[in-house]
Structure 1
Amino acid sequence: VFLFLFLFLLPAGAMGRWASRDRLGFIPSPARSAMALLLAIASLAHALAWAMYMIFGKIAITTALGRIAVNNGLKPGAIALLAAFAAFLALSGPSRRGVMASVWGWRFHMSLAALTLALCFAMGELAVRVAAGSMPGVRYMVFVGEEERGEIYPDLKTYLASKPDIKPFMPLLNYYDNSLGMRDVEFESPKPKGRYRIMALGDSFTYGMAPYPDTVMTQMEKELQTACGGMDLDVLNFGITGGELQDYQTIYELAESRYQPDLVALHFYMGNDGPNLRHDAIPENAARRPSFKGSYLVRYLKNMLTVAQSVESARLLNEWTRFGQEKQGEKACGGCPVTPGLEITDDSPELKNPYFVPVRWNFYIAVIEIESMYVEDKAEAERRWAPTLETLGRIADQVEGAGRKFALVMYPSSFQVYPSRIDEFMEAIGQVDKYIDDLPSPEEAERFRSIRRENIKTDHPNLMLARFCLERGVACLDATAPLLAAASASEKPLYRSRETHWLIHGNKVAARAEARFLKELVCP
């Protein structure tokens, strides 16, 4: 569009010579030569980047630009630039001064060129602003710097390669992850016609710290397929270990155009996805919104250039890809067993035995979850929650702005299901002086001495998220109630000992509850 405006509409209209072969005659020959050279370089570089990607794939670091071109759908851009270059040469013709040129001289031509460029920039700015409102991939490239999410990534695989815990075909509890390092079978792309697709975002609870057939997402998918009468649907498990809300947002922005979900279910682990109410900074003006000042177009191009120059990202992706290729050589495949016939249950040592030693559990792991529910001042706690709720709202806006459904699923901490674990924690930290040498520093002891049982409000995360759902009109499931009911109905544990995650039994209870919830949103 910009090339069309610059080369045809404005110059031709001003000259009044629409049918003339010499449409660009008003531009001096040196300027025309420079423009032709720039167009030639841009078009050939773009086409070369795409060709290198197609020929060499993701093997060499030099294909980073090619990956950006392909993953942003810029194959047509290479063709368009080449066509524009050819059209420019064809329309230029011999340099002859037009009637307007002889009257107004070079001032007219310079003013016209400046006006043309200004209008082209304005249209580009408008186009990026409109696209950022409905295309998460464009929005990511505009706002990723503003939202302080760290490194900028050109595509999903490069982002996943930056995460040390995510590797293609990694084995866990006798089952391989898929080629993206997700706890699932391979994702079909493009999406089969007529299929209803759910994208599941979340942390390690969503990922599933259980054998693949027994994870919450695998079981929920089967339950939902049955509940919907054999409806053609799938659930793509994009849960990642150690994930945070910003990670969920980035994954959605980088994956949605390729996998085309109809519904996005964000799974919020109330043990640590929310703020630490004792240590997170209190924002001055609630949550920090992305700035709407400055040019979207300039930020978009700047971030794209940053991505193109990121040699480290390319290196990580190369290592990540080679790791996957080696695993494929071992016949690994997503959702396949490492050792066929080997069964792992809740009574197997891998799941039954305590995971952390007591000191590590109480003074490094459990304390983080306790502090996420620690309310000394209600108003202050709500201010600390503001950035988290702002990010949730931003993700919901992106999903719904693209015409998709958004749902929020809340997973409880073991301390919210088993209050006795809080009593055990309080007893342990009451002996903090015995473990001074095991703490990061002696000063850390005061952190534990100051914790008061009466300030631990296990329902506070639930209340904050429930209010968010009500105010935003978001479909929400709080899985606390069904897990509490299951804990009361049976002595069979739901969570691992001295660990945060569910046993297989806990995964099953949560899966059934979520399938019942999603049935109302998905089934015809």
Structure 2
Amino acid sequence: MATSNVENPNQRQRLFQILVPLLTCLLTVGAVELGLAIFHPVPFSIETNMYFENDPYTGYRLKPGSAGYYQLGIPGNANSRGHRDVEVPLKKPPGVFRILVLGDSFTVGSNVRQEEAYPKALERLLKRAYGPRIEVVNTGIGGWDPFQYAQYFEHYGYLFEADLVLVGFFVGNDAYSTLASVEQSYRAVGGHLVTWDAATRRLIRLQVFLYDHSNLARLLMNRGPVASRSFLRKQCDDFSEQYVAIQKVRMPNHLAESSAQRDGARNSVNQIRRIKDRAGGSLPVIVALLPDENQVNPALQARILDPAELAKHDFKMPQSLLIGMFREIGLPTIDVLPAVLADPRCLYMNETHWTPEGHELAASVIFEQLKPVLAGMKALR
């Protein structure tokens, strides 16, 4: 008993030596977290805009019935089919003419309201012209590439009994995509997108949880552009360093045509060919080529390129290349670039995507160029 009485004070002292520093650390972390939350909230990265789940065919998709938020609190909700759209039955109602739209963040309507995205704007124009029986189904997913458009259509999209398929092909990401397998894509963990390798890490779920719930964790983990107010520009030549970094990566898309670029575009075009093949001869497939701001904003071009480099670029590329390649496989295209070039407004002041006005313009171009196609379709007579 005497030995025990001697050891107890020593044990208490050791416990005190452990607990006091630990408690001090926890209180310090808590104070930092509280201070950030009140005085300097740390925003999410721009990728964390909707809630994703894994998918065996596309790598990831929107989780049905999930809710997320874009910058400035704009809601990003998914319906029961995993689309940012109104509820749409899988079986097409009698008398309805249905257009299925495939695409990435431009199509899903990144950082604009659901009804402002160009597929819904297109639907309103079509209904005014052809009546209420027109239905445009928006199946776009932020971050998808042509491989995923094809995978989605082959495994899910064809079930919607569409009368026409429209592919929203954003040249900034889609023109030279090398994606050809699910393993090259991202995975979803806790609603967020992570690389395939990161998804296998032992503590990845804890990291995602902390990222969701802690300003301090986001401060330590953020590596790229974040969803802050500063990412929304005040004028057309108002570029943050983050924005310039994103656009600089995409500038080589607009180099003068070369054999290397033809090779790079072949995978993307072949993926869209898969959609055409799955659709068969009776279901029209049309590709809408959506331009990047690099092509239309001289101030951005001058910010990224010096005069000697500028002369090497052809800003009608890659559309001029893609139009020819799609023509070779029998796919018509709608080029939105000329209309954006002719419009004096700055349509990309919504981080890297279109403003609502940009979506309206794209919808009007697509609507006008769809008219001759729709005029010859029996389902609309």
> Normalised by the shorter chain, which TM-score bucket?
0.5 to 0.7
Q: What is the TM-score normalised by the length of structure 1?
A: 0.47
Residue 414 (structure 1) aligns with: 293
C-alpha separation in 2, matches of 1:380 and 1:185? 42
Query: Alignment partner for residue 217 of structure 1, among 119, 122, 144?
Result: 119
**Which amino acid counterpart does residue 264 of structure 1 have in structure 2?**
V
Matched-pair contact (CA < 8 Å) for 2:60–2:188: no
Query: Alignment partner for residue 380 of structure 1, among 256, 260, 267?
Result: 260
Superposition pairs of residues 152-231 of structure 1, within 5 angstroms? 158-159=55-56, 162-163=59-60, 168-172=66-70, 173-174=74-75, 176-209=77-110, 210-228=112-130, 230-231=131-132
C-alpha separation in 1, matches of 2:244 and 2:172? 14
Residue 516 (structure 1) aligns with: 368
- 1:234 matched to 2:91? The reply is no
- 1:358 matched to 2:240? The reply is yes
Percent of residue pairs bearing the same amino acid type: 24
**Which amino acid counterpart does residue 163 of structure 1 have in structure 2?**
Y
Matched-pair contact (CA < 8 Å) for 1:166–1:240: no
| Max Rg structure | 1
> SS in structure 2 opposite 1:187?
coil
**Which amino acid counterpart does residue 212 of structure 1 have in structure 2?**
Q
Query: Alignment partner for residue 174 of structure 2, among 273, 292, 297?
Result: 273
- 1:391 matched to 2:288? The reply is no
**Equivalent pairs, count:** 276
Matched-pair contact (CA < 8 Å) for 1:160–1:180: no
Deviation at 1:166, TM superposition (A): 5.5
C-alpha separation in 2, matches of 1:467 and 1:166? 37
Residue 367 (structure 1) aligns with: 248
- 1:493 matched to 2:339? The reply is no
**Which amino acid counterpart does residue 116 of structure 2 have in structure 1?**
D
Residue 25 (structure 2) aligns with: none
| Deviation readout 1:419-442 (Å, 9 max, x if unpaired) | 331112226xx9xxxxxxxxxxxx
Query: Alignment partner for residue 400 of structure 1, among 280, 284, 287?
Result: 280
C-alpha separation in 2, matches of 1:515 and 1:368? 31
Deviation at 1:394, TM superposition (A): 2.5
> SS in structure 2 opposite 1:170?
strand
Deviation at 1:200, TM superposition (A): 0.2
Contiguous gaps of at least 5 residues in structure 2: 1-52, 182-186, 192-228, 375-379
**Which amino acid counterpart does residue 287 of structure 2 have in structure 1?**
L
Residue 22 (structure 1) aligns with: none
C-alpha separation in 1, matches of 2:254 and 2:338? 17
Matched-pair contact (CA < 8 Å) for 2:118–2:360: yes
Deviation at 1:475, TM superposition (A): 2.4
| Deviation readout 1:76-110 (Å, 9 max, x if unpaired) | xxxxxxxxxxxxxxxxxxxxxxxxxxxxxxxxxxx
C-alpha separation in 1, matches of 2:86 and 2:369? 24
C-alpha separation in 2, matches of 1:182 and 1:393? 23
C-alpha separation in 1, matches of 2:58 and 2:265? 30
Matched-pair contact (CA < 8 Å) for 2:54–2:60: no
C-alpha separation in 2, matches of 1:397 and 1:161? 18
Superposition pairs of residues 303-382 of structure 1, within 5 angstroms? 351-352=232-233, 358-363=240-245, 365-375=246-256, 378-382=258-262
Residue 424 (structure 1) aligns with: 303
Distance 1:351 1:361, change over 3 A: closer
| Deviation readout 1:179-201 (Å, 9 max, x if unpaired) | 34422111222211121111100
Matched-pair contact (CA < 8 Å) for 2:265–2:322: no
The structure carrying a bigger helix percent of its residues is: 1
Matched-pair contact (CA < 8 Å) for 1:157–1:180: no
| Deviation readout 1:225-282 (Å, 9 max, x if unpaired) | 1122x15121110111011001101111122343111111111111121117xxx79x
Matched-pair contact (CA < 8 Å) for 2:105–2:142: yes
Deviation at 1:380, TM superposition (A): 2.6
Matched-pair contact (CA < 8 Å) for 1:225–1:233: yes
Matched-pair contact (CA < 8 Å) for 2:101–2:137: yes
C-alpha separation in 1, matches of 2:171 and 2:265? 12
Distance 1:367 1:483, change over 3 A: same
Deviation at 1:463, TM superposition (A): 1.0
Matched-pair contact (CA < 8 Å) for 1:227–1:519: no
C-alpha separation in 2, matches of 1:215 and 1:207? 7
> SS in structure 1 opposite 2:100?
strand
**Which amino acid counterpart does residue 425 of structure 1 have in structure 2?**
I
Deviation at 1:159, TM superposition (A): 4.6
Residue 46 (structure 2) aligns with: none
Superposition pairs of residues 238-317 of structure 1, within 5 angstroms? 238-275=139-176
Matched-pair contact (CA < 8 Å) for 2:158–2:279: no
**Which amino acid counterpart does residue 249 of structure 2 have in structure 1?**
I
The structure carrying a bigger strand percent of its residues is: 2
| Deviation readout 1:355-394 (Å, 9 max, x if unpaired) | x97332223x11222022224x722322222222222223
